[in-house]
Amino acid sequence: MAVPKSKVTGSRRGMRRSHDALKNVNFQEDSNTGEYKLRHHIDLKSGQYRGKQILEPKGDF
């Protein structure tokens, strides 16, 4: 059975857990529709990405 050789200090434990915090989701307002979307993602309502038509535009959901 694996047993730690010595106690892990609070500082070392905190450094290990430093990447576990939840990140904020960064929404950006679309310049065409005015709705919020994720950056670097296609706007599903209009079907555009960076001003180019990528998908067929969908109606209201």
Structural domain count, the chain: 1
Give 27's strand partners. 38
Does residue 31 belong to any structural domain of this protein? yes
Helix or strand holding residue 55 (H, E): none
pLDDT for residue 14:
96
Does residue 3 belong to any structural domain of this protein? no
Q: What is the mean pLDDT of residues 46-52?
A: 85
Which residues in 21-37 are b (16+ Cβ under 10 Å) and which e? eeeeeeeeeeeeeeeeb
Does residue 9 belong to any structural domain of this protein? no
> Which residue range is the domain that position 31 belongs to?
26-61
**Does residue 9 carry a pLDDT above 90?**
yes
Confidence of residue 10 (pLDDT cuts 50, 70, 90): very high
